[in-house]
A and B are shown apart, each in its own frame.
Chain A
Amino acid sequence: MRFSLLSLVRNAFSNHQNWGRQWRQPEPKKTYDAIIVGAGGHGLATAFYLASEHGLTNIAVIEKGWLGGGNTGRNTTIIRSNYLYDESAALYDHALKLWEGLSQALNYNVMYSARGVLMLAHNHHDVMSFKRHIYANRLNGVDNEWLSREQVKDFCPPLNISPDIRYPVVGGALQRRGGVARHDAVAWGYARAADALGVDIIQNCEVTGFKRDASGAIAGVETTRGPIATKKVGVVAAGHTSVVMARAGLRMPLESFPLQALVSEPVKPVFPCVVMSNTIHAYISQSDKGELVIGAGTDQYVSYSQQGGLHVTTHTLDAICELVPEFRRMRMLRNWGGIVDVTPDRSPILSKTPIAGLYVNCGWGTGGFKATPGSGHAFAHTIAHDTPHAVNAPFTLDRFRTGRLIDEAAAAAVAH
């Protein structure tokens, strides 16, 4: 059933008895043309584009838990594309363009809200780095503009721009097309749309191993619900990529760390945009439901516990209270963690692997939600054609050998 106001009203009259399932709960088949491991946003998007753009519909997405329950379901939803390097800007802006029509494309309101992402500069180094980004973005056709201190205040009135604080705000970089989206709806929307095209989404099924043919190429996967044959497997397991790839005998240039976020109690609109300060480690926006959504940092050690240390949260809230002192009387409602897989250059890997038929999409670390549509789109191309799409061609595994790193972090130390 197509979603619309009309269908909503019609269903209201029938007491909402007639809504169908948004996706089926199929039993795994014996064989698929391709299998995606991980039903996060990226995995589901990959399946959707494989089906919708490459005609591969006999495919399955295999998820060890519930779809969207990984980092897709636990991120601070910041979306932007004002990355420095050409490669990154191309990839993230590819995604941003897809975001702009995603609700309509999926017939699912993912509430993409282009309210602007404002990054605060606190010192000379920030200013220089932001200008470098802004100019690079301009030449790459990505919007990003410099705001003076006063313009920062106009754009986001709650911010404390007093020159007397420890790290005063000296200006900012604003990407107006940046914003947020409703994270769960992204997973659900892709799942529903992929399911409608015939994709099997198999939840509560963990991939526990890989089968290889005589040539060493992929022949199938082992799962907690039995073996499944396939010649193509795309691993999109985010924080668990190292674990999954180890089952194929591959070591990865990745480490998995807990990353925390938190929300406040819901309040009426007070915070109009997304604000990020890398210098003092604060990321904040207000959701459409009213909570302040705040991103914290990662713990320093590898962990799969989805729980981080208290000192990481306190550090972030120090910074929030410095930026908006009025928020000291706001209260934290819930704090949680996700497991993020981080590469040495903080850029993702969307790549073929040394094993034929095995593809990997990982390393999005603390900032892959924003890339969801673009990543799925490019990865689908990579799997379907056994060759990367132009936007993900630079994001190979091989770059760690050659040294052709795409080091956004080294260039700017910008997260999310």
Chain B
Amino acid sequence: MTTAFRLPKGGRIDRTKPIVVRFNGREVPAFQGDTAASALLANGIHFVGRSFKYHRPRGIMSHGSEEPNALLDVDRGGNRREPNNRATVVEAFDGLALKSQNHWPSLTFDVGEINDRLGAIFVAGFYYKTFMWPPKFWTSVYEPIIRRAAGLGQAPTAPDPDRYAQRHAHAEVLVVGAGPAGIAAALVASEDPNKRVILCDEQAEPGGALLHDVTSEIDGVPTSAWVKAAIETLDARENVTILPRTTAFGYFNHNHVALAERITDHLRVPLTGLPRERLWQVRAGRVILATGAHERPLVFADNDRPGIMLAESLRCFVNRYAVLPGRQIVIATTGASAYRAAIDLKAAGASVTVVDLRLEGDCGTELVAAVHAGVEVLTNHTVIGSHGRQRVTGLIVAKLDGNGAVGAPRVLACDCAGMSGGWTPAVHLFSQSRGKLRFDSGLDAFVPGASVQAETSAGSCRGVYDLAATIADGAKAAGGSRAVAASPTYTSFQPARIMPAPPGQKPVKAFVDFQNDVTAKDIKLAVAEGFTSIEHVKRYTTTGMATDQGKTSNMNALGLLAGQLATEIPAVGTTTFRLPYTPVTFGTFAGPNRGDLFDPARVTPIHDWAVANGAKFEDVGLWKRAWYFPARDETMHQAVARETKAVRTSAGIFDASTLGKIEVTGADAAEFMNRIYTNAWTKLEVGRCRYGLMLKEDGYVFDDGVAARLSPTLFHVTTTTGGAPRVLAHMEDFLQTEWPDLKVFLTSITEQWAVIAVQGRRAREMIAPLIEDIALDDAAFPHMAVRTGHIAGVPCRLFRVSFTGELGFEINVPADYGQAVWEAVYESGRRFDVTPYGTEAMHVLRAEKGYIIVGQETDGTVTPDDLGLSGLVGKAKRDFVGKRSLVRPDVVATGRKQLVGLRTGDLSLILDEGAQIVADPNQTVPMKMIGHVTSSYMSANIGRSIALALVVDGRRRMNERLHVTTPNGFAQATVVEPVFLDPEGVRLHA
């Protein structure tokens, strides 16, 4: 296979680096610097895919990111495969594998083509009108067929080997687009070395439209030389960052702009360490948008055949890639810019005919230049169709008479065609910035109107098309000026919504949105059916909803709709421009936030010991907590039974470091505690602890914990593990905004202290040898007291508290000593067979005692009284957070759920936590539920299962027999007090 359509010289490809890419398995020789599209075209391949709905053969239409048709499956090797890549932006490298999509069995022979024949039925919105009968068929027959037919390529199925990175950046000026306007803006903006300037462009190299403009000159030098000099200047400035292959895809509030940088996709073997893509979040002082303009296709019958391309794209392939897209080319146009393409193609050796809708008298110097160059020009001509199936073979054109009536058709044979319906400024980012668009009827386009953010548009994205003017405009946007002399730009044009066609022409498909197969007729139908808002037309026909988001099609759709409604385009308005400007990989958004970095895994100072001792862990918020410590092949149940027994018979040791801890300091500390907690704190003596309950203002239990008074002005408060951050935030909020007069400071000390709970009747004996400066006997150090001193030579705050109902201590030591002290205590406890236990055993132990866990017994709808804890509500206190809500009518009403214990009839049955409770299991559905199980365990100590539950009026139901759901029915359970063991609390004082 030869690259028959590669020109012998010219272009920006690197002829010293020949490469081979594959297309549907076939070898396609190319050069470094090619895109997939230019490589294919160099080999004469236009037909590269099938359309979405009708499976029509499709070729390459454009040369940039607006491409609607040429979507390929791209495999870069090593599981780097994904669908729907625009061939026009995929940079070629040796070994790159391309495949066409959406056909079966093959590209050239596709069964789906039948849809094209049935096109008369598959009009816009057809599926809303059918597939309803018989109803059952929808799920079993219709929908599966619809689903299979839909979608373009195949989603990736292999794990992604690539890494993605992110960066926040700040710039005084962000310039988007490195065409002449953007370059000029960056040059001016960066003159001040204190201004950080970022210049990004989605293309592989800066230059924009100038990359394929080989005929124009700026200040007497070729455009390429101008670009090169300008980029060298910018490169030399330390305050400038140039980002090629970087698309600005989202413009958010407060000048926050998101860029997607593609770092390795163009490399055959990415360097190790390099991320594939990077998300840049730029916060810019000013944003200059210099994003250029998109050429509009023409709407005429069968305008979608492979080989029919945008005129400017033909020019690009010839000049930038040295590829002749065809030898016999017809260019249909309604404006002047296409003549540049015609002249350049002619110069490259093609035979070229221009078919211009305009009258000869409306044409300017472009006509003279083209004729002079040997281009045949037919003015006052329309194009009404095309021939060819898998490749265009001719355009059907006709002359218009003086009244605009269409004359006799004639076929101009060709192997490639161009079309140009004028230009549409790329106002996407401007619109995303919430700027208002203004319709410019001279340009027949929307251009940026008033800005809402610190933003300026420059160059052809605001309708300035003349080369010298774009440069001046870019400079002006950056607050300077730059007057250059440049070759003239052909800019005049005459808008046409749809090319004039003979009346009574058979129903035809004249495509507006190529990818979604939306035709001019679909838009007409939508209007006839009452879908007159552009937003309705969009959604009914799906125009503009494909992967190109209508970059080339939206203006034609608008124009057609305006025509149908006999109104003007501004009255129709546009659809909303949304991010991303072009599709962006999920990986770019997710960045490094995966695996270990998906969310911080917080670990305690004793974590490594637990790992070394075989602990299984559970997630509690961000924390990893030791769940249980299986010995050899113990199941969880066996381990928990052993651990809980050990605590009740001798001693256990537990890592409680994750408990939230807050130091409340200041003269008003007690008053503050009074206001935050339901219970009273003023009278708590120094050296004593108290259990406290905290509500939100709505009266529901929010958190709980033990707080100790270390001095008249200092409380050491503990919170639940999960609640720590929100409790501190809650306290700070009240302190700063409601009670700024209180003399209190709050400091999180959660992580300052490792907490080792030693529980069981041997607890005191275990720690005694390690402590010299604290008297541990019951009288000197009673239950619910706190002391400071040393353990194993380490300073500690020693709490005598218990969440197990056993004699217990919680040893707080500075975190870096946590593991060493743990080991010392553990060593000291060996003689009592001290057993490390995890959170599961802790849960069982506390449930045996009926102690609640916030988040388990409570769910944000539970009051202190519901828990049987109304004793903790300081009735005498004038106020505390949540107090007023406790007397709302529904909160004081009877029929609330109250905490009780449950005993199952079957001693070994462990009820499901979350199981629902009914009084009568024989009711009909819907049944009346009167409660649910909040905690449920096998208690090895009691020798039976136990459960806690919230039951309607539960405290009045003692000994009542209720029925609890099980996976396959109901189990009987009896309501009991929620304390299963040692109700007198004797063990606490062992």
Report yes or no: B888 in contact with A401, Cβ–Cβ below 8 A. yes
B589 at the interface (CB under 8 A from A): yes
Contact residues in A for B618 (Cβ distance below 8 Å): 123-124
User: Which of the segments B11-19, B250-258, B356-364 contacts the partner chain?
Assistant: B250-258
Question: Which residues of chain A in 120-156 are interfacial with respect to chain B, using CB atoms and an 8 Å cutoff?
Answer: 122-125, 127-136, 138-141, 146
Which B residues lie within 8 Å of A73 (CB)?
535, 539
Nearest CB on A from B544, distance (A):
10
Interface string of A49-77 (1 = CB under 8 A from B): 00000000000000000101100010000
Q: Does B536 contact A (CB under 8 A)?
A: yes
Known pairs A182-B128, A320-B590, A405-B861; list 7 more (Cβ under 8 Å): A109-B138, A166-B599, A268-B152, A270-B154, A288-B143, A288-B150, A321-B594
Given contacts A135-B916, A318-B594, contact A4 B578 (CB under 8 A): no
Whether A322 sits at the interface, judged by CB under 8 Å, is yes
Q: B535 and A131: CB pair below 8 A?
A: no
Interface pair A318/B589, CB less than 8 Å apart: yes
Is B130 located at the chain interface by the 8 A CB criterion? yes
In the bound complex, do residue A403 and residue B127 qualify as a contact, i.e. CB atoms below 8 Å apart? no
B530 and A309 contact, CB distance less than 8 A? no
Residues of A within 8 A of B81 (CB): 329
B586 and A327 within 8 A (CB): yes
Min C-beta distance of A305 to chain B, whole Å: 7
Q: Are A136 and B916 within 8 A (Cβ)?
A: yes
Does residue B126 face the partner (Cβ distance < 8 Å to A)? yes
Determine chain B's interface SS by DSSP, over half rule.
loop
A165 touches B598 (CB 8 A): yes
Q: Are B128 and A188 in contact (CB under 8 A)?
A: yes
Contact across chains for B84 and A321 when beta carbons are under 8 A apart: no
Is B849 interfacial (CB 8 A cutoff)?
no
- The proximity string for A residues 258-295 relative to B, scoring 1 for CB distances below 8 Å and 0 otherwise, is 00000011111110000000000000001111100000
B396 at the interface (CB under 8 A from A): no
Interface pick from A221-229, A333-341, A366-374: A333-341
Contact with A along B921-944 (1 / 0, CB 8 A): 000011101001000000000000
Kindly list chain B residues whose C-beta atoms are within 8 Å of the C-beta of A125.
855-856
**Cβ of B279 under 8 Å from chain A:** yes
Question: CA–CA, A167 to B152, complex, Å?
Answer: 32
Contacting pair A266 B585 (CB below 8 A) = no
Which has the most chain A C-beta neighbours within 10 Å: B81, B153, B529?
B529
Residues of chain A within 8 A of B157, CB atoms compared: 270, 326
**Interface residue? B631 (CB, 8 A):** no
Q: Is B349 an interface residue (CB 8 A)?
A: no
Contact A270 B535, beta carbon cutoff 8 Å:
no
Whether a CB of chain B sits under 8 angstroms from the CB of A300 is no
Point out the residue from B158, B596, B885, B914 that lies within 8 Å of A135, measured CB to CB. B914
B699 to chain A: which residues have CB within 8 Å? 403
A332 in contact (CB, < 8 A): yes
Interfacial chain A residues near B126, Cβ < 8 Å: 8
How many Å from the CB of A139 to the closest CB on chain B?
A: 4
From B120, B138, B153, contact of A267 by CB (8 A): B153
Question: Are A19 and B529 interface neighbours, CB within 8 A?
Answer: yes
Closest residue of chain A to B256, judged by CB? A310
Rounded to whole angstroms, the CA-CA distance of A325 and B147 in the bound complex is 23
In the complex, A4→B159 CA distance in Å?
A: 44
Pick from A101, A123, A327: contact of B135, CB under 8 Å: A101
Choice from B279, B535, B583 contacting A314 with Cβ under 8 Å: B279
Task: Take A135-B916, A332-B583 as given contacts and tell me if A111 and B150 are in contact as well, using a CB distance cutoff of 8 Å.
Answer: no
* B155 contacts across to A, CB distance below 8 A: 267-268, 270, 326-327, 330
* Contact of B913 (CB < 8 Å), options: A20, A131, A139: A131
Q: How far is the CB of B455 from chain A (nearest CB, A)?
A: 15
In the bound assembly, the distance between CA atoms of A202 and B580 in angstroms comes to: 33
Q: Mark A104-128, 1 if CB is under 8 A from B, else 0.
A: 1001111111100000001111011
A interface residue count range (under 10 / 10 to 19 / 20 to 34 / 35 or more): 35 or more
Find chain B residues with CB under 8 A from A267 CB.
Answer: 83-84, 151-155
Chain A residues closer than 8 Å to B528, beta-carbon distance:
16-17, 19, 21
- The 22 listed contacts between A and B (C-beta, < 8 Å) are A4-B130, A22-B530, A110-B128, A123-B619, A127-B913, A129-B914, A136-B929, A184-B539, A188-B128, A189-B128, A267-B151, A270-B157, A310-B281, A326-B157, A326-B158, A327-B156, A328-B585, A328-B590, A334-B579, A403-B888, A403-B890, A411-B859
Q: Report B-chain residues with C-beta under 8 Å of the C-beta of A246.
A: none
Assembly CA distance A89 to B926 (angstroms): 10
Q: Does B881 contact A (CB under 8 A)?
A: no
Contact check: which of A109, A310, A320, A335 meets B130 at CB < 8 Å?
A109
Q: Does B454 contact A (CB under 8 A)?
A: no
Q: Known: A12-B121, A101-B135, A108-B128. Is A336-B925 also a contact (CB below 8 A)? A: no
Indicate if the CB atoms of A328 and B587 lie closer than 8 Å. yes
> Which residues of A371-413 have CB atoms within 8 Å of chain B's CB atoms?
399, 401-405, 407, 409-412
Q: Which residues of A contact B529 (CB under 8 A)?
A: 19-22
Known pairs A165-B598, A321-B586; A266 contacts B151 (CB<8 A): yes
Residue B131 at the A interface, CB < 8 A?
yes
CB-contact partner of A403 in B164, B540, B889, B967, under 8 A: B889
Does residue A86 face the partner (Cβ distance < 8 Å to B)? yes
Report Cα–Cα, A314/B590, bound state, in Å: 6
A353: Cβ under 8 A from any B Cβ? no
The answer to whether A111 touches B914 (Cβ under 8 A) is no
* Chain A CB within 8 A of B564 CB: no
B926 touches A141 (CB 8 A): yes
A9 close to B (CB within 8 Å)? yes
Q: Which listed residue (A108, A140, A268) contacts B925, Cβ 8 A? A: A140
Q: Which residues does chain B contribute within 8 Å of A264, judged by CB atoms?
A: 583, 586
Cβ of A90 within 8 Å of any chain B Cβ, yes or no, is yes
Cα A5 to Cα B81 in complex, Å, equals 40
Q: Contact at A12–B120, with CB atoms within 8 Å?
A: yes
**B891 within 8 Å of A by Cβ?**
yes
Q: Which residues of B contact A327 (CB under 8 A)?
A: 155-156, 586
Chain A residues with Cβ below 8 Å from B536 are 66, 68
Q: Which residues of B are found within 8 Å of A159, using beta-carbon distances?
A: none
Among A69, A113, A289, chain B packs the most CB atoms within 10 A around the CB of A289
Bound complex: CA A264 to CA B153 (Å):
12
Closest A residue, CB atoms, query B530: A21
Q: Is the CB of B580 within 8 A of A265?
A: no
Q: How far is the CB of A73 from chain B (nearest CB, A)?
A: 7
Q: Are B594 and A322 in contact (CB under 8 A)?
A: yes
Q: Is the CB of B578 within 8 A of A325?
A: no
Does A15 lie at the interface of the complex (its beta carbon under 8 Å from any beta carbon of B)?
Answer: yes
Q: Is A208 an interface residue (CB 8 A)?
A: no
Contacts of A185 in B (CB 8 A): 128
Question: Across the interface, do B915 and A8 meet the contact criterion of CB distance under 8 Å?
Answer: no
B576 closest partner in A (C-beta):
A336
Within the assembled complex, what's the spacing in Å between the Cα atoms of A219 and B619? 58
Q: Are A330 and B861 in contact (CB under 8 A)?
A: no
> Min CB distance, B768 to chain A, in Å?
36
User: What 1/0 mask marks residues of chain B from 503 to 541 whose CB sits below 8 Å from any chain A CB?
Assistant: 000010000000000000100010011111101100110
Query: B890: which A residues are within 8 A, CB to CB?
Result: 399, 402-404
- Given known pairs A66-B533, A309-B252, A326-B155, the reply for A167 and B594 (CB within 8 Å) is no
* A276 to B123 alpha-carbon distance, docked (Å): 34
Chain B CB within 8 A of A317 CB: yes
Residues facing A in B816-861 (CB within 8 A) are: 855-856, 859-861
Q: Point out which of A125, A138, A344 has the most chain B C-beta atoms below 10 A from its C-beta.
A: A125
- Chain A, Cβ-Cβ closest to B257: A310
The docked-state distance in angstroms from the alpha carbon of A148 to that of B258 is 40
- CA of A399 to CA of B888, assembled, Å: 10
Task: For A167, list chain B residues within 8 Å (CB).
Answer: 598-599, 619
A-B complex: 4 closest residue pairs judged by Cβ atoms: A410-B860, A290-B151, A132-B914, A131-B914
| A325, B133: Cα distance in complex, Å | 39
Once bound together, how far apart are the Cα atoms of A111 and B599, in whole Å?
A: 38
- Partner pick for A331 among B250, B434, B585, CB 8 A cutoff: B585
Whether A265 contacts B84 in the complex (CB less than 8 A), given A104-B135, A132-B932, A326-B155, comes out as yes
Q: Does A203 contact B (CB under 8 A)?
A: yes
